[in-house]
Chain A
Amino acid sequence: MSSIPLSAYLVTALLLFCMGLYGALTKRNAVIVLISIELMLNAVNVNLVAFAKYGVGASIRGQVFSLFTITVAAAEAAVGLAILIALYRNRATVNVDEMNTLKK
């Protein structure tokens, strides 16, 4: 039995999530934004695994689920980066401030 309470892990994850969110919303460099998003996904994973141990009806499923998340995150990172490079080729910048084609 572990003596560390569930909330400890949850607060850690919360902190990570908030920092990731902060990065995603304020950083201008697209690569960093992508990385911040990975951080947020990680925070979620921590929660999943923590609930796998402490949750209601705790079981191995939480871990399986986190594996799926990691896979999808990896895919996302790859595609995201590919898009970034394509964008960079067209507009010669990785600054998200200048990426405002949504407006047009």
Chain B
Amino acid sequence: MNGELIVFVILFLITITGALLMLNLSKVVHMVMALVLTFLGIAGLYVMLAAEFVAVVQILIYSGAITIIMLFGIMLTKHTGEEKKTGFVKKGIVLSGITAFFLIMFFAVKDLSLGGQATTLHENNTEQIGIMLFTEYVIPFELVSVVLLVALVGAVILAKKEETKKEGEQS
């Protein structure tokens, strides 16, 4: 058993534990916090996969931004605190479906090997990504910026209190 495997197992456990906690905790805030654990674990996995830049982005965006947004969301809405339990039957159906799905996919991927490995990913990882982004993927990159802008504006409009529209509806 080499060190790499040990690290992987630890990261794996962190990730899964976070997700499990997220599913089983009862308070909404706790759930979000549990998920941070998962996000961090995933970031670790990225590092193992020679994707340092992605790992950093993961930590920044997910563990940082999205978690904060979610927390704000929780703050802005009213929560009884306790998560209401879903019906047993429905849970059972969904669970069996997912299990079936898991099993199928598991047997599909458990021995999957596509041959070679990339060996140069860790060399100037950020540079490589930057070059790729600004040459080959420059148009999608610009588009994504537009998407972000639109999402931003959209989110602001949606979340804003709309006095005028309500009046309009009444008339």
Contact = CB atoms under 8 A, between A and B. Distances in A.
Say if the two chains contact directly (CB < 8 Å).
Answer: yes
Interface of A: 1-12, 14-16, 18-23, 25-29, 31-32, 34-36, 38-39, 42, 45-46, 49-56, 58-61, 63-64, 66-68, 70-79, 81-86, 88-89, 92, 94-95
B58 A70 contact: yes
24 contacts: A3-B2, A4-B4, A5-B113, A11-B109, A11-B110, A14-B105, A15-B19, A22-B94, A26-B90, A31-B77, A32-B22, A49-B46, A49-B49, A54-B117, A56-B115, A60-B118, A60-B129, A64-B137, A70-B62, A75-B151, A79-B151, A89-B161, A92-B78, A95-B84
Interface centre among A5, A36, A54, A95 (most CB of B within 10 A): A54
A16 to B, nearest CB: 6
Taking chain A's interface residues, is the majority helix, strand, or loop, or is none over half, making it mixed? helix
Contact of A94 (B2, B79, B98, B155): B79
Interface string B39-56: 100100110111101100
Contact of B158 (A21, A51, A83): A83
Taking chain B's interface residues, is the majority helix, strand, or loop, or is none over half, making it mixed? helix
Contacts of A89: 161
Contacts of B132: 60-61, 64
Interface centre among B16, B22, B156 (most CB of A within 10 A): B22
Interface of B: 2, 4-5, 8, 12, 15-16, 19-20, 22-23, 28, 31-32, 35, 38-39, 42, 45-46, 48-51, 53-54, 57-58, 61-62, 65-66, 69-70, 72-74, 76-79, 83-84, 86, 90-91, 94-95, 98, 101-102, 105-106, 109-119, 121, 125, 128-129, 132-133, 137, 140, 144, 147-148, 150-152, 154-159, 161
A21 B102 CA distance: 11
A23 B4 CA distance: 31
Contact of A32 (B28, B69, B129): B28
A14 B143 CA distance: 30
B2 A42 contact: no
A3 B157 CA distance: 50
